[in-house]
Amino acid sequence: DTAVSQTPKYLVTQMGNDKSIKCEQNLGHDTMYWYKQDSKKFLKIMFSYNNKELIINETVPNRFSPKSPDKAHLNLHINSLELGDSAVYFCASSPTSGGSNTGELFFGEGSRLTVL
Amino acid sequence: GEDVEQSLFLSVREGDSSVINCTYTDSSSTYLYWYKQEPGAGLQLLTYIFSNMDMKQDQRLTVLLNKKDKHLSLRIADTQTGDSAIYFCAERTGTASKLTFGTGTRLQVTL
């Protein structure tokens, strides 16, 4: 009964390839996110969607394209992969409606991307 | 700005208390959080504090917030080997959906 699940867990690919990471949450949350964690464990937000609408789009190369087919899914497609894209990508979700929204994020287990 | 800083590493003996510190720069933070990341896993929320509170206690965890100094700390009493992990503080400001994470503190618990 995984709350936030990501696939694949590991991804090894060559420079220049295109790859996708998928995320699904069964918590009924309205908002989903992609975070990138680099080799120094620094965690930075990339995108956020609320009810399929893009609400946060940080300074991320346009090779990265998120897509939310419905509020339970948020996928990340990366074109023309570069060495610097190697990182762990975390999907997360949060409830946003209601007066007691504490902003808590629920994270997936991460997708480790290695670009060779 | 949205810089959240933490010391990189802390080592404590089992049974001792651990104190992990965090400083932030955005005075409009509404909620502040502590997350724990174990090896190969995602982040899990440990506790949070609303910005109008000074302290929050939850079993072995005590969170202290000094808004004047923009300083947040997490004290873990009777630290156990299972507490070994990376601890991240995070702040929520502006857009309700956006959290800014600190640099993470790796806690090592020795026997």
Tens-binned pLDDT, residue by residue, of chain A (116 aa): 669 999 999 999 999 999 999 999 999 998 999 999 999 889 999 999 888 888 888 878 899 999 999 999 999 999 999 999 999 999 999 887 544 567 788 999 999 999 99
**Res A19: pLDDT:** 97
**Res A52: pLDDT:** 83
Cβ distance B31 to A43 less than 8 Å, yes or no, reads no
CA distance to partner chain A, nearest, from residue B41 (Å): 5
Dihedral angle over CA of A8, A10, A16, A17, nearest 10: -30
**Res B56: pLDDT:** 95
Do residues A24 and A5 make contact, with C-beta atoms less than 8 angstroms apart? Answer: yes
Cα angle for residues A89, A94, A97 (degrees, 5° grid): 155
pLDDT in tens, B67-99: 999 999 999 999 999 999 999 999 987 655 678
Of A43, A108, A110, the CB nearest to B101: A43
**Res A76: pLDDT:** 97
**Res B35: pLDDT:** 96
pLDDT higher at B105 or B52: B105
Structure-token match 């949070």, residue found: B48
Give the residue from chain A lying closest to B33, CA to CA.
A104
Q: What is the DSSP-derived secondary structure letter of residue B17?
A: -
Residue A33 CA to residue A55 CA, distance in Å, equals: 10
**Res B93: pLDDT:** 75
Residue A70 CA to residue B59 CA, distance in Å, equals: 38
**Percentage, residues of chain B above pLDDT 90:** 73
Q: For chain A, how far is it from start to end, CA to CA, in angstroms?
A: 34
Q: Taking residues B61-66, what's their average pLDDT?
A: 96
pLDDT class for B27, splitting at 50, 70, 90?
confident
Do residues A37 and A43 make contact, with C-beta atoms less than 8 angstroms apart? Answer: yes
Task: List the beta strands (DSSP E) in chain B.
Answer: 4-6, 9-13, 18-24, 31-37, 43-50, 55-58, 61-66, 71-76, 85-92, 99-101, 105-110
Cβ distance B33 to A96 less than 8 Å, yes or no, reads no
Give the residue from chain B lying closest to A10, CA to CA.
B40
Q: pLDDT at residue B43 above 90?
A: yes
